[in-house]
Structure 1
Amino acid sequence: MLASLLCLALGALLAWQVQAQQGERTALVMTIDDAIGPAISDYFLRGLELAEERDAALVVVEMDTPGGLSDSMRSMIRAMLSSRVPVAIYVSPAGARAASAGTYLLYASHVAAMAPATHLGSATPVQLGGGGLPGMDDPAQPTDDGETPASDDKAASDDTEQAEDNGASSDSGTPEKRRGETAMERKVLEDAVAYIRSLAERHGRNADWAEQAVREAVNLTAREALEQNVVDVVARDLDDLLTQIDGRTVVMEDGERTLATADLVIERFDPGWRTKLLAVITNPNVAYFLMIIGFYGLIFELSNPGGLVPGTIGIISLLLALFAFQVLPVNYAGLALILVGLGLIVGEALMPSFGILGIGGIVAFVIGSVMLMDADTLNISLPMIGGIALLAAGLMLWVMTRFIGLRRRVPRTGQEELVDSEATALEDFAGQGHVRLMGERWNAHSTRPLTRGQTVRVTAVDGLTLEVEPLDDSS
């Protein structure tokens, strides 16, 4: 009886706790403080899934990013737009920024918020291989006396002629919209403009400034962004943010929704070991180094079968590198040049060409390494490229000097090894006789008389007969 009452009491307590947890409304808070890449995208998507599983009332992303990869950014935006849980992007803490891809994420969020002393902008797309779109440099700034710097009068006249060719008046005072110089640049730029304008129009934000951020790479402070209807809220901290957006109406995929955030319980979902490991592996410098280790590990294993350690390390490193290259924006021409360069360097070691293969391999390796990553924010460190190239050059130089030294050494195998060797006469003879050489009995011929036990030197080998002479006659 007592046991039954105890079980009922425990069951009632558990039911009450479950009901309390289900009735507790939470805000899931995530943190993004790095470049937007595969690791950040994976972390963000898992956070949204967790928020939906727990029926959270709001997802808050505290963000500080210099930008990142377009593919990762777009996957995050697609997930955000289709999320059943409203997402608030909060640029914080003070001093943080939402640059490039961060600006797109801010425009795509259901609530766009910034902390004081933060900024956003510089959303111009970057061409493949790094660097901004040609023709997207900052326009000439006027000097203190109001005149344009006289460093390039021809450029100013060219700009005027270009404006007239496009049907724009140079006297209108309205700057010509930058559209890129080549067809590919215009295609990328116009796609980015249309994309960010569609995000702005979805949430009723300033689409004209969004276009300007893409075309002109302009920036805004938090206060300016609020005044120009780029963001919805400027909040001191997370509590202030939840207070200000309480009762705000946001646009979800299934229609409008009114937020109730006044009494939300904050639950943090910080990046775990998986995100950190993925971030390390997908770091361009790490992926590049893993590829080098993997390549040389396999070469050492194939040249010395049975070592196991180089092969094991090599295959693991190479697989990790290939995984990273799968999710990173890799230029395959650069990757091919790296592999060709490494192959030529190894070829120099296996069949010396007096530097032709080795030098060509180093040149191909360096060019391929510079070309490898197709992103401005994810580039391989030039000192790392230079260091590995110098290491390969040093290895090639060492191999060449070793081969040159081997060519100068006296042969140690075959008949050549017997010449200049010392032997012992086994009997007295002049002409034909026998000597002992390296523990073996050999036929010998000498033009000088020899006595038993006398030490002689081999001067030549004729089949199975040694030409010998007394050792004291050798010079």
Structure 2
Amino acid sequence: MSGALRRLIVCGFLLFSGGFSPVASNVAHAATATPKVVVLSIDGVINPATSDFLIRGLAHAAQEHAVLAVIELDTPGGLDTSMRAIIKQILASPVPVATFVSPAGARAASAGTFILYASHIAAMTPASNVGAASPVSIGLPGFEKPVSEPADKAPASVEPGQTQPGSAKPPAAGQPPAAGAGGDTMNRKITNDAIAYIHSLAQLRGRNSKFAEQAVRDAASLSAHDALAAGAIDLIADNLDDLLAKLNGRQVALASGVTVRLATAGASIERIVPDWRSRILATLAHPEVAVILLMAGIFGLFFELTSPGMALPGVAGAICLLLGLYAFQLLPVNWAGVALLGVGAMLMIAEAFLPTFGVVGLGGLVAFFLGGLFLMDSGASGLGLSIPFLIGIALASAVLLFAVGAMAARAHKHRVVTGREEMLGLPGVVTLAGDRASYADVRGESWRIQCREPLAVGDPIKVTALEGLTLHVVRQPFKK
């Protein structure tokens, strides 16, 4: 009995100590399970849709306990707000993040440079480039809005420590640009803020901070091999499989202070592409699309109010107006610019009804154009409103509204064909002539009539007025 009791005690100890517990079983299963790598592909401008897609993708990688999240990146730049939201998610990610500038010929320009520097692992494929992260301005002189410069307009590759031909030598790291070199105070503030931000990322990841500053201050750019030699990236890989093979066994320090060793050899790959939600957001998160939706919504409601009962313009207009306002909510817009766009549209609509000889319409065009110029508080490559676009939309709107006004004016001159006014001038024939009441047949209907002169049955008459249900008529001469 004592031996059986001892065996029972040992079994109970193993059971409650976790030797056979479900938790221990799950841990053992996780240790033997195939490691998973989540791949997120970004090709295009960094905007709110991109930010939403990447944030949800990195959260999914954490839920799936992936050993690595890879961002395949090819971007000309993007919005500062969206870029910072992505970087915050990368810095706080419990899963190591590798940004891979891929495929060959891809670029990590402007906002892409910041994302590359923020990632735990920075990798590039041959024939790709990184850099050109200088803030630039759009708009009329005195009304500039800071944007990320497109890589298409960026200077050629620059070796660390060098400057562009004909340009002044940049100040030492951390020093503000000389007066006149960095534009007005606002542009200097934006540039220095961007430099400090990328400096902090370079220091966090142990990458070349001197090139990072040149990329922001002088729009410097490096090829993949030059970036590796300069210490701006960690490695070069031909493709995703080559990247995972080179990362196997590498140690990565996470924000929690934990250092993990990557086990990417033989890992299963889960590739995530933008879904319908991200594609719709990407379409809406464009100022030109937002302006078109706003104008379509205003015009649709205008046509519904002027022609009640059509339904389709009102329904379509309401949907377009709501989508346009939602698109503006996604973008860093200046709401004064949105208000000017709306006022401009309203003034152009009013021109179709007011006899102002084009004054109100011209004011609407000016308000619409200025609203478009002031619309964006900040932007990026592909996120600005071009002057030709604004002029085209304003002229198209003016032509449409003036055409509607002209048609309304011509219709006003035509004879009324419905209602009480339709009766005026209609011919008829007297059917009953009496002392108390007389009746006539007008348009196939019997009407009570009054006339200042005596009438006889069969006399032709013409309606001159309508009072209640009685027609005032005059006798017409008989036609020969």
> Please, what TM-score do these two structures have when normalized by structure 2?
0.75
Which of 275, 278, 290 lines up with 1:275 in the alignment?
278
Quote the Cα distance in structure 2 between the aligned partners of 1:461 and 1:76: 74
Distance 1:178 1:46, change over 3 A: farther
Question: Is the CA contact 1:358–1:396 (under 8 Å) kept in the aligned structure 2?
Answer: no
Distance 1:281 1:444, change over 3 A: same
- 1:93-112 per-residue CA deviation (whole Å, 9 max, x = no partner) reads 10000000000011111111
2:398 maps to: 393
Quote the Cα distance in structure 1 between the aligned partners of 2:448 and 2:391: 59
Distance 1:444 1:232, change over 3 A: same
Distance 1:443 1:270, change over 3 A: same
- 1:33-61 per-residue CA deviation (whole Å, 9 max, x = no partner) reads 12111111111112221222222222111
Q: Which runs of 5+ in 1 are unaligned?
A: 1-11, 140-147, 150-155, 169-174
AA of the residue aligned to 2:279: K
AA of the residue aligned to 1:402: M
Asked if 1:337 is matched to 2:344, the reply is no
Alpha-carbon offset, residue 391 of structure 1? 3.9
Which of 109, 113, 117 lines up with 1:99 in the alignment?
109
Alpha-carbon offset, residue 301 of structure 1? 4.3
Alpha-carbon offset, residue 380 of structure 1? 4.4
- 1:239-287 per-residue CA deviation (whole Å, 9 max, x = no partner) reads 2222333444444323373533452513223122222222223233333
Distance 1:270 1:419, change over 3 A: closer
SS in 2 for 1:255: coil
Quote the Cα distance in structure 1 between the aligned partners of 2:464 and 2:180: 85
Distance 1:178 1:133, change over 3 A: farther
Quote the Cα distance in structure 2 between the aligned partners of 1:96 and 1:220: 12
Distance 1:300 1:403, change over 3 A: closer
Question: Is the CA contact 2:125–2:239 (under 8 Å) kept in the aligned structure 1?
Answer: yes
Asked if 1:30 is matched to 2:40, the reply is yes
Quote the Cα distance in structure 2 between the aligned partners of 1:22 and 1:192: 44
Q: How many residues align?
A: 426
Asked if 1:347 is matched to 2:350, the reply is yes
Structure 1 residues 354-433: aligned runs within 5 Å: 354-373=357-376, 374-377=378-381, 378-380=383-385, 385=390, 388-410=393-415, 421-424=426-429
AA of the residue aligned to 1:215: R
**In terms of mean alpha carbon deviation, does 268-277 or 97-106 score higher?**
268-277
Distance 1:458 1:49, change over 3 A: closer
1:76 maps to: 86
- 1:361-381 per-residue CA deviation (whole Å, 9 max, x = no partner) reads 233234323443341321346
Distance 1:266 1:379, change over 3 A: farther
Asked if 1:233 is matched to 2:227, the reply is no
Alpha-carbon offset, residue 62 of structure 1? 0.9
Quote the Cα distance in structure 2 between the aligned partners of 1:245 and 1:282: 35
SS in 2 for 1:442: strand
Which of 265, 268, 271 lines up with 2:267 in the alignment?
265
Question: Is the CA contact 1:178–1:216 (under 8 Å) kept in the aligned structure 2?
Answer: no
- 1:143-190 per-residue CA deviation (whole Å, 9 max, x = no partner) reads xxxxx99xxxxxx9xx99xx9xx9x9xxxxxx9697522211111111
Asked if 1:292 is matched to 2:299, the reply is no
Structure 1 residues 175-254: aligned runs within 5 Å: 180-254=182-256
SS in 2 for 1:30: strand
SS in 1 for 2:90: helix
Asked if 1:440 is matched to 2:447, the reply is yes
2:127 maps to: 117
Quote the Cα distance in structure 1 between the aligned partners of 2:147 and 2:186: 10
> Please, what TM-score do these two structures have when normalized by structure 1?
0.76
Question: Is the CA contact 1:179–1:190 (under 8 Å) kept in the aligned structure 2?
Answer: no
- 1:51-108 per-residue CA deviation (whole Å, 9 max, x = no partner) reads 2222222211111011101011101111111222211111011000000000001111
**In terms of mean alpha carbon deviation, does 290-299 or 33-42 score higher?**
290-299
1:58 maps to: 68
**Identity rate of aligned residues, in percent?**
41
Q: Which runs of 5+ in 2 are unaligned?
A: 1-21, 156-163, 172-176
Alpha-carbon offset, residue 390 of structure 1? 4.1
Question: Is the CA contact 1:179–1:189 (under 8 Å) kept in the aligned structure 2?
Answer: no
